[in-house]
Chains A and B, each alone.
Chain A
């Protein structure tokens, strides 16, 4: 399984800001190795963040998103102590789910 995501979720007023750092090579599929062969694409395709079972963000990504992707977004309706769950699925079907508590 991939390395864990680092997720920070902070409540300010009524808005929670979530910052995620995912660990993923995000290989676009256009790079070539030393021998000249194309390095196959391997990148996160879908991201799904949820709070209390409700989706708060969905994203569709490509190999154009940088390695070890960073994501920041904000949503309303959460309270301190609630959990935010982030899940990603890559083009090979690998997946990773991590959660953080809103501080």
Chain B
């Protein structure tokens, strides 16, 4: 009993020292969403998995077309002017699994990513960013003429 408690305390102490030395940054120590969260089926569950309800922010921008001709390939970009943005999430509200992508942004990398996603139907593209440990979001509605999930 004594030895396991002692070794557990030692491990915690060592880890805390590493964090305070900056060798293991806070953002690395707490992993972003784990993979299982990507299969949640609703926007609310996705927000829960990310860590809570984000506050709307005009410092976060979602760039996506007003009308997407092809729902299989919809260009989406997210930028965040908030300092210390460490994570960016792209959520397609009405997709069968709304949490589409997550980006982990280390120091030195801009909070500015672009990719292309599938959208099953016209819906909101919600970008959630984590900056200084807090969550912020922005939303843009994109209409889709031909759905892209093959459903």
List chain A positions with a Cβ less than 8 A from chain B.
15, 28, 30-32, 45, 54-67, 69-77
Q: For B104, list chain A residues within 8 Å (CB).
A: 57-60
The interface residues of chain A lying within 8 Å CB-to-CB of B102 are 59-61
- Taking the complex as formed, is B151 at the interface, i.e. its CB lies under 8 A from any CB of chain A? yes
Q: With A and B bound together, what is the CA distance between A74 and B78 in angstroms?
A: 12
Q: Are A15 and B101 in contact (CB under 8 A)?
A: no
Please state if B103 and A62 are interface contacts (CB–CB under 8 Å): no
Inter-chain pairs besides A56-B109, A73-B103, 17 sampled, C-beta below 8 Å: A30-B96, A30-B149, A31-B151, A57-B105, A57-B109, A58-B106, A59-B104, A60-B32, A60-B104, A64-B92, A64-B101, A64-B149, A65-B115, A66-B72, A71-B113, A72-B114, A73-B113
> Residue B103 contacts which of A28, A31, A58 (CB distance < 8 angstroms)?
A58
A66 pairs with B117, CB closer than 8 A: yes
Query: How far does the Cβ of A10 sit from chain B's closest Cβ, in whole Å?
Result: 14
- Across the two chains, which residue of chain B brings its CB closest to A19? B114
Cβ–Cβ contact B72 & A67, under 8 A = yes
B106 touches A64 (CB 8 A): no
Q: How far is the CB of A91 from chain B (nearest CB, A)?
A: 9
The answer, yes or no, to whether B62 is at the interface (CB within 8 Å) is: no
Q: Mark B123-151, 1 if CB is under 8 A from A, else 0.
A: 00000000000000000000000001111
Chain B residues within an 8 Å CB radius of A72: 77, 113-115
Q: Which residue of chain A has its CB nearest to the CB of B148?
A: A66
Measured as residues with beta carbon below 8 angstroms from the partner, the interface class of chain B is 35 or more
Query: A59 and B109: CB pair below 8 A?
Result: no
A62 surroundings in chain B (CB, below 8 A): 38, 97, 99-101
The reply to whether B149 and A73 contact each other, CB–CB distance below 8 Å, is no
13-32 of chain B: CB within 8 A of chain A: 32
Expressed in whole angstroms, the Cα–Cα distance for A54 and B149 within the complex equals: 35
Residue in A32, A55, A65 whose CB lies within 8 Å of B101: A65
A60 and B38: CB pair below 8 A? yes
The yes or no answer to B53 lying at the interface (CB within 8 A) is: no
The reply to whether B108 and A65 contact each other, CB–CB distance below 8 Å, is no
B55 interfacial by beta-carbon distance below 8 Å: no
With a cutoff of 8 Å between Cβ atoms, the chain A residues found around residue B114 in the complex are: 70-73
